[in-house]
């Protein structure tokens, strides 16, 4: 990929995100993201760190040299998904309760928790 625009667009495509949704993922507005893509505004380290956490090689983003994705990008992406889930649980204020659950639940305990979460999720649909 020869241009910064092409490289950032490739990341958008890889993540299956529109320009607007990618900007939201990065915590910036659309116009700022567009300026990064066009090279009219330098990409700050904070954005490069977010891209790295999503599994992308910041050196590749800036220069086009090297591989697009970090070697362990699949693991990083999976960790990000899990971190998002933990943040979601934290936003509901249930992390303390979940931490009190047994590390190795019996099949009965596991079934109770699973049924509870299915029931709870159905109330939000």
**More confident: 11 or 54:** 11
9 shares a domain with 53: yes
Give every CB contact of residue 70 below 8 A, 6+ residues apart in sequence: 52, 55, 56, 57, 76
Which has the closest alpha carbon to 70: 60, 80, 79, 62? 60
Angle at CA of residue 23, ends 19 and 71, nearest 5° = 90
- Tell me the residue range of the domain where 28 lies: 4-63
pLDDT of residue 95: 82
96 shares a domain with 59: no
Segment 88-112, tens digit of pLDDT? 888 888 888 888 888 899 999 999 9
pLDDT of residue 80: 78
91 shares a domain with 56: no
Number of domains in the chain: 2
Please say which residue of 13, 44, 63 terminates a domain: 63
**How far apart are alpha carbons 77 and 60 in whole angstroms?**
18
Average pLDDT for residues 35-54, to the nearest whole number? 91
pLDDT of residue 38: 94
Please say which residue of 63, 83, 107 terminates a domain: 63
């Amino acid at each position: 990929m020869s241009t910064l625009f092409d490289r950032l667009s490739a990341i958008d495509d890889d993540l299956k995100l529109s320009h607007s949704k990618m900007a939201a993922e990065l915590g910036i507005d659309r116009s700022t993201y567009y300026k990064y893509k066009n090279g009219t505004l330098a990409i700050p380290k904070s954005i490069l760190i977010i891209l790295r956490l999503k599994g992308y090689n910041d050196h590749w983003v800036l220069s086009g040299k090297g591989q697009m994705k970090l070697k362990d990008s699949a693991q990083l992406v999976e960790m990000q998904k899990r971190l998002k889930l933990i943040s979601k649980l934290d936003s509901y204020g249930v992390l303390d309760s979940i931490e009190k659950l047994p590390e190795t639940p019996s099949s009965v305990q596991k079934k109770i928790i699973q049924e509870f979460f299915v029931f709870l999720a159905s109330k939000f649909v």
